Amino acid sequence: MNKKITMAALIVGATSSMAMAQSDPLRFDPENFTRQTLFMPDGEEVTYKAYEGLQYVKNVEDSTYQTLNIYVPEHLADIPRVPILMRTYVGGYMASTAKSPSPSDATGRALKEGYVVCIPGSRGSNSTIECDGKTIYTGTAPNGLLDLKAAVRYLRYNDSLIPGESELIFTDGTSAGGAISSLLGATGNAPEYEPYLKRMGAADARDDVFAAICYCPITDLNHADMEYEWLYGCTNTGVRHLNEQQIVISEELSAQCPDYINSLGLKDKAGNLITADNYKEFLKTFLIQSAHRALQEGCEIPDTIGFKFYQDKSGPMGGPGNGPRRGMGLRTDDGRGAPSFGPGNAPRFNKTSDYVTALDLDKYLSFVASVTPLKTPPAFDQMGVLIPTPSPENKVFGNKAGEAANFTEFSLRHRLNDASAKLDKDMVKRVYLMNPMNFIDNGKSTVAQNWFIRHGAKDRDTSFLVPINLAVKLENTGKNVDFFLPWNRPHSGDYNLDDLFNWIVRTLK
């Protein structure tokens, strides 16, 4: 009798959970997958279960982008808690569909390591839907970020159904995607986003993450113009070839930067305050560190780009002088760009004499600008100041009708030729929501404990100040930050995967 009741209760229970699965669009179905294989560059085959096209919000506005894919390797890593790599392919602040893993980036590598991979799509500056005969732009800021926060919530909401630990989410992105990754890391559970996420029908779950991997994050957008001019202004009449009007804009922007730097109250590792007065010396320490590692790894550094080397009259360079230094042995490329100036063909590295003693920063910045022409001022909020063309940032801060917009008072005032023009309240809020710097120490969000931040030593897409300030602010608030400016690296991401995955293993310990 008792047994019968139990059976009946079981049947009712099973039926109601099946009904729940059907009625809950955010519930993950572990049985609904296809089997796929990735062929890795080393010939290894990695087989995994693919769960694709999953809806991560209840109120989908744009079904082209608001879905995610989950990939679960057949052989999960043999560790107590398997992490989830959440990789966004956002670039240029544009929309990005949910993609498949690639053998040549962190997604393929993560699967090979036995980690779960999630690749969400998200709306962006160019995503549109047709509504009552009108084209609506769906991905204006902060909607792309909201989508990815909803994707994090989906992973947590379905934690018991999806292999891998939703408490161990590593977000990863490059450039605008690196910026979004930094926002995901900085804005966990921040109440400022709650009303938007509710409206979208995001899962009722937390959205903080364990770690953020940020390659060349194009962020701190409302200060990026002044930071760019303050740093690169030294090239205005040289390699940058600015005209008079551009120089005026450059100098106006540059003049705003010291107050901003000083307002941050950043400290170096020894606890010294970083100010506008000592910032350039501080920046040099990162570039010199990059050059030193390059030398140790076998790269050659020419003597024409600002680095000064130890002068050893009896040294292996054959007498006095400041010739190029060459590292020990051959540095092999990782296949994703050029890490060195070309490996030297004869090992000449000398531990005592081949090191950098000084850096002429202006000369080095001119070198960077000679490799890839700099952006013209203003580098980001450019629309209507000296040229009519909107930047990717002007577009993402645009409106539903697809009209791009200014997002700094500086550019708005120049465009309108009105020195008292003000950004409207809504824009001020959107700009605030898109800047991770606002959330690191505001006491209201759960900031990721672990950060991997890279910005190439010759990447001029944004000023070096942007990633440095982000990294130092995080470090100053007690986060674990692995920050580096990889030598001779242009604007790119997911390179040197050994470096990245060794760091992932360390953070999991």
Q: Are the beta carbons of 217 and 453 closer than 8 angstroms?
A: yes
Handedness of CA 289, 491, 469, 187 (dihedral sign): negative
Nearer to ligand DHB, 91 or 144 (CB): 91
Q: Which helix (H) or strand (E) holds 116?
A: strand 116-120
Residue range at the interface with ligand DHB (CB under 6 A); choices 28-36, 86-94, 274-282, 481-489:
86-94
**C-beta of residue 151 within 8 angstroms of C-beta of residue 66:** no
Tokens for 115, please give them: 């980690």
Is residue 217 near ligand DHB by the rule CB under 6 A?
no
Residue 354 or 381 with smaller CB distance to ligand DHB: 381
To ligand DHB, the closest distance from the beta carbon of 90 in angstroms equals 7
Query: Shortest approach of ligand DHB to residue 392 CB, angstroms?
Result: 4
What is the C-alpha to C-alpha distance for residues 10 and 12, in angstroms, rounded to an integer?
A: 5
d(CA 146, CA 190) in angstroms, rounded, equals 12
Sign, CA torsion 476/481/487/491:
negative
Name the nearest CA neighbour of 268 among 437, 473, 462. 473
> How many Cα neighbours within 13 Å face the side chain of 392?
15
- Does residue 378 bind ligand DHB (CB under 6 A)? no
Residue placing its CB nearer to ligand DHB in the complex, 135 or 372: 372
How far apart CA 495 and CA 476 sit, in angstroms, is 27
Considering only 175, 219, 250, 450, the residue that binds ligand DHB (CB under 6 A) is 175
Closer Cβ to ligand DHB, 300 or 393, answer by number: 393
Residue whose CB is nearest to ligand DHB in the complex, by number: 175
Structure-block tokens of residue 387: 């040229």
Question: Cα-flanking dihedrals φ and ψ of residue 506, to 5°?
Answer: -65, -40
Could you give the string, one character per residue 121-160, with x where binding to ligand DHB holds by CB under 6 A and - elsewhere? ----------------------------------------
Among 114, 120, 392, 456, binds ligand DHB (CB under 6 A): 392
Binding segment for ligand DHB (CB under 6 A), chosen from 90-98, 200-208, 279-287, 290-298, is: 90-98
Footprint (CB under 6 A) of ligand DHB, residues 54-83:
none
Footprint of ligand DHB on residues 454-493 (CB under 6 A)?
461
C-alpha span between 147 and 127 (Å, rounded): 13
Rounded to whole angstroms, the Cα distance separating 499 from 484 reads 11
Looking at 46, 49, 66, 91, which residue binds ligand DHB (CB under 6 A)?
A: 91
Please give the size of the binding site for ligand DHB, defined by CB under 6 A.
Answer: 9
Q: Which two tokens stand for residue 318?
A: 């054959």
Confirm if 28 and 162 have CB atoms less than 8 A apart. Answer: yes
Applying CB under 6 A, which of residues 116, 197, 218, 369 lies at the interface with ligand DHB? 218
Contact predicate 137/127, CB 8 Å: yes
Could you give the angle at the alpha carbon of 56 between the alpha carbons of 115 and 183, nearest 5°? 70
**Quick check: 111 binds ligand DHB (CB under 6 A)?**
no
Among 110, 146, 155, 176, binds ligand DHB (CB under 6 A): 176
| 3-state secondary structure (DSSP) of residue 285 | helix
Shortest Cβ distance from residue 213 to ligand DHB (Å)? 15
Phi-psi region of 201 (alpha: psi -120 to 50; beta: other; left: phi over 0): left
Q: Is 164 in the site for ligand DHB (CB under 6 A)?
A: no
Q: Is 3 exposed, middle or buried (0-12, 13-18, 19+ CB in 10 A)?
A: exposed
Part of the chain binding ligand DHB (CB under 6 A), chosen from 67-75, 85-93, 250-258, 342-350: 85-93
Which part of the chain contacts ligand DHB (CB under 6 A), choosing from 89-97, 157-165, 272-280, 414-422?
89-97
Region near ligand DHB per CB under 6 A, out of 48-56, 87-95, 107-115, 307-315: 87-95
Question: Quick one: 179 or 264, whose CB is closer to ligand DHB?
Answer: 179
Q: Does 377 bind ligand DHB (CB under 6 A)?
A: no
Q: Pick between residue 176 and residue 431 the one whose CB is nearest to ligand DHB.
A: 176
**Closest to 431 measured CA to CA, from 453, 415, 412, 407:** 407
Cβ closer to ligand DHB: 19 or 371?
371
Which chain residues interact with ligand DHB by CB under 6 A? 91-93, 175-176, 218, 380, 392, 461
